[in-house]
Amino acid sequence: MCGRYFIRDDEEDFAVLYAMEKLNRKFSGDITPGSDAPVITGKGCAQVRWGVKGPAGLIINARSETSREKRLFSSGRELLLPASGFYEWNRSGTRYVCVPPKGMYMAGLLLNVPEGERFVVLTMPSAGKMDSVHDRMPVFIPKDCCRTWLSGGSGAAGLLGELEPADILPIPDEPEQISMFS
């Protein structure tokens, strides 16, 4: 599950910097459903809105295991989401900051819908320490597999079937302390 992700102000990752340079816009802070975000497709960079209208509200994620079987996602094109990390909440409402290992990028699908181009984040069953926070997590594509992923077709489908969940350590997010004396 992924309901919010972020790009740090001091991001040094090539994909994030590349997207910002190509779009001539600096993205930083939280990326929330319904907002525009940088994406990388097989054709280059674009700024696309996150989420597509569904019968029960905004659809922001797609299960990687079944996405190609669903009519809404079946013609989606593979994309990468430049991100510094994402947030996840457990059942008790604690927010966790989750930062992937360097050189891994969130995977998504670019959809052409009546409202225009939109994207969804692909998710997979979580594992390791993430499993104690939530049962789903974003799919992450290793840097050396990005070209295969963005090319789509059987190569991307095969890659998706082989990927293991990224090794992510979720950190409980502490609310900022506001000093009464500053």
Worst-scoring range by mean pLDDT, 16-20, 59-63, 125-129, 175-179?
175-179
Is the CB of residue 44 less than 8 Å from the CB of residue 22? Answer: yes
- In sign, the C-alpha dihedral spanning 167, 83, 141, 72 is positive
Higher pLDDT, 177 or 96: 96
- Confidence (pLDDT) at 175: 58
Worst-scoring range by mean pLDDT, 56-60, 108-112, 175-179?
175-179
Q: In sequence order, what E strands does 82-139 have?
A: 85-89, 95-98, 104-113, 116-125, 136-138
**Cα dist from 35 to 3, 32, 46, 62, 75, whole Å:** 12, 6, 13, 17, 22
Residue 172 has a CB neighbour count (10 Å cut-off) of: 10
Instruction: State mean pLDDT over 98-124.
Output: 93
Instruction: State mean pLDDT over 110-121.
Output: 96
Judged against a pLDDT cut of 60, whether residue 97 lies above it is answered with yes
Rounded-to-integer distance, Cα 66 and Cα 181, Å? 53
- Rounded to 5°, the CA angle 146-111-29 comes to 65
Averaged pLDDT score across all residues of the chain: 86
Q: What are the domain boundaries of the chain?
A: 5-172
pLDDT tier at 139 (50, 70, 90 boundaries)?
very high
- Confidence (pLDDT) at 27: 64
pLDDT tier at 179 (50, 70, 90 boundaries)?
very low
Which pTM value belongs to this model?
Answer: 0.87
- Confidence (pLDDT) at 160: 87
- Confidence (pLDDT) at 51: 97
Percent of the chain topping pLDDT 90: 48
Rounded-to-integer distance, Cα 80 and Cα 36, Å? 14
> Which CATH code fits 5-172?
3.90.1680.10
pLDDT tier at 154 (50, 70, 90 boundaries)?
confident
Residue 110 has a CB neighbour count (10 Å cut-off) of: 19
